[in-house]
Structure 1
Amino acid sequence: MLAGGCFWGVEGVFSNVKGVISVESGYHGGSAATAKYERTHDGKSGHAEAVRIVYDPSQVSYGTLLRILFSVVADPTLKNRQGPDVGSQYRAAIVPMDANQRRVATAYLAQIGGGKYFAKPIVVPVEAYKRFYRAEASHQDFMRRNPRNGYIMRWDAPKLAALKRLYPDKVRATPAP
């Protein structure tokens, strides 16, 4: 599971990656009672907008997914914000689903830290999995269904263009569900 700001763009980018089987927008952490868009918007619910990614490791590695997250989707030097969205619900975070993913995530953050790739410190946490709550249907596949939406055009379409430019061999012909 990955968080990288508003889940519309995170889902939109990863659904276009070869080897990704499905991407689902939702809320990580918090409680079921507050796992609603209207309740998470103030940043006090403990949730992060996140995506649950099912992928085929024979086609795309977890490390590649992390590389795409931090070279296309999210700035790992920003705490509790991405693009125009501010608050802990928009934090970037890595939520490993097993010990191997945790090892890869920790090693990857160490690799990109220390000023070698980013001028500012890396502030992305590796968070323990708590619970994933699927977002409302209106948020699923939002970028694909609403390509002319002003937010999508300004903030998320450039991320998809960056994926195609930086990782042309990793782009699917048609998005995953």
Structure 2
Amino acid sequence: MQLKSLFAAGALGLAVFATPHAVMAEEVFDAPVATRQANETGLQTAIFAGGCFWGIEAIFSHTRGVTSAVSGYHGGTASTATYRQVSSGATRHAEVVRVTYDPSVVRYDQLLQILFSVGADPTLLNEQGPDHGPQYRSAIVPMNGEQRAVAEAYLRQMGSSGVWRRPIAVAIEDYQQFYEAEASHQDFLLRNPNSAYIRRWDQPKVEALEENFPSLWRARFRTG
């Protein structure tokens, strides 16, 4: 079945789809296919921020070609890289997911398209869904020059695509240090499928991945 949003991109509210799931917690955007691809071989690492890391980690854990998806923190110091402190919004960290992937199966530009199609609204500044604060900003953290070139080109492409009514608010951040989040935050959707937050905000993202990217969908949840 084709997944179709009843809301225009950039609007606020619930999105309703012609699927058995009926109501999804967030919009699904039709992010464009990137016109530039990274020249990568062998296992690669990418870091993405798109609001609460539970949902982003769940999406990429269900993406074919991803061998590891680990929730963590980026942009602050080691001494404040704890969930309690990062949640204050005062540590400069963002909640991120470190993705290890095989570019012969899923390319970096495809990961970006997935992120901004089913994971995060790229027009929101320091917020996603019910979560607000700089720790929930959307950001791309390139790990090499190839990724940076693709990310820069893709942000320009998104800005001129006409898909979103508001300006793109995604930042490209220099890599500093990735701090792995506490064990209780790893594989959170897998271990807490009945959580009200997960059912409202994150499970619909995973379902949207399956509907919109069937060739990259993987049913088995891979742990990071």
TM-score scaled to structure 2, two decimals?
Answer: 0.78
Q: C-alpha distance in 1, partners of 2:161/2:151?
A: 18
Q: C-alpha distance in 2, partners of 1:102/1:147?
A: 35
Q: Gaps (5+ residues) in structure 1?
A: none
User: Sequence identity of aligned pairs in percent?
Assistant: 56
Q: Which residue of 1 aligns with 2:212?
A: 166
Runs of 4 or more above 3 Å deviation: none
In the TM superposition, residue 25 of structure 1 has moved relative to its aligned partner by 0.3
- Write the mapping of 1:76-155 to structure 2, written as runs, cut at 5 A: 76-114=122-160, 116-155=162-201
Q: C-alpha distance in 2, partners of 1:172/1:99?
A: 29
Kept after mapping to 2: 8 A contact 1:79/1:91: yes
What are the Cα deviations for residues 61-119 of structure 1, in whole angstroms up to 9, with x where unaligned? Answer: 00000000000000000000000000000001000100000001011111110351111
Q: Which residue of 1 aligns with 2:121?
A: 75
Q: C-alpha distance in 2, partners of 1:108/1:77?
A: 14
Query: SS state of the match for residue 209, structure 2?
Result: helix
User: What is the one-letter code of the residue matched to 1:173?
Assistant: A
User: What is the one-letter code of the residue matched to 1:12?
Assistant: A
User: What is the one-letter code of the residue matched to 1:21?
Assistant: T
User: What is the one-letter code of the residue matched to 2:140?
Assistant: I
Q: Indicate the structure (1 or 2) with the bigger Cα radius of gyration.
A: 2
Q: Gaps (5+ residues) in structure 2?
A: 1-46
What is the total number of aligned residue pairs between the two structures? 177
Q: C-alpha distance in 1, partners of 2:219/2:51?
A: 25
In the TM superposition, residue 47 of structure 1 has moved relative to its aligned partner by 0.2
Query: SS state of the match for residue 171, structure 2?
Result: coil
Q: Which residue of 2 aligns with 1:20?
A: 66
Q: Which residue of 2 aligns with 1:4?
A: 50
Q: Which residue of 2 aligns with 1:41?
A: 87
Q: C-alpha distance in 2, partners of 1:68/1:95?
A: 16
Q: C-alpha distance in 2, partners of 1:114/1:60?
A: 25
Query: SS state of the match for residue 60, structure 1?
Result: coil
Kept after mapping to 2: 8 A contact 1:114/1:121: no
- The RMSD of aligned alpha carbons is 0.7
Q: C-alpha distance in 2, partners of 1:120/1:165?
A: 25
User: What is the one-letter code of the residue matched to 1:81?
Assistant: E
Query: SS state of the match for residue 172, structure 2?
Result: coil
User: What is the one-letter code of the residue matched to 2:122?
Assistant: P
Q: C-alpha distance in 1, partners of 2:161/2:205?
A: 23
Q: C-alpha distance in 2, partners of 1:12/1:85?
A: 17
Q: Which stretch shifts more, 166-175 or 30-39?
A: 166-175
What are the Cα deviations for residues 131-157 of structure 1, in whole angstroms up to 9, with x where unaligned? Answer: 100000000000111110000000001
Q: Which residue of 1 aligns with 2:99?
A: 53
Query: SS state of the match for residue 113, structure 1?
Result: helix
Kept after mapping to 2: 8 A contact 1:29/1:47: yes
Kept after mapping to 2: 8 A contact 1:115/1:121: no
